[in-house]
Amino acid sequence: MDVMSLQSEQNDLIRRILDINDLSLLSKIKDMLIAEEKACIAGEDIVPYMTRQEIETHISQSCEEVRQIREGKLKPLNAEDLLEEL
């Protein structure tokens, strides 16, 4: 990206932020920028937020696994295996 297009993008973003009148939204934007800066400094990739549907899917899958463990259809992980998985 050349310098002119970078400056143009920056100016556009600044104008859009200045038009925001919602303190909560401004706080979220600030938090996101801080997280991005920290990740860049640490050399990490930013992990996007999960959607509500993704969260609900994970919860449903977890509940199904618990049900299968209780019914004896699935072997539970012991503490060592759980830590290994993390």
What is the number of structural domains in the chain? Answer: 2
Rounded to whole angstroms, how far apart are CA atoms 86 and 78? 13
The half-sphere exposure of 44 on its side-chain side, counting CA atoms within 13 A, is 9
pLDDT in tens, 46-82: 567 778 888 889 899 988 888 898 898 988 877 787 7
Task: Kindly state the percentage of the chain with pLDDT values over 90.
Answer: 15
Does residue 65 sit within a domain? yes
Amino acid identity, position 49: Y
pLDDT at 44 over 70: no
Whole-number mean pLDDT of the chain?
83
Does residue 47 sit within a domain? no
| Amino acid 18: pLDDT | 92
pLDDT at 8 over 80: yes
Same domain, 38 and 7: yes
Instruction: Print the domain residue range for 59.
Output: 52-85
pLDDT at 45 over 70: no
Same domain, 37 and 62: no
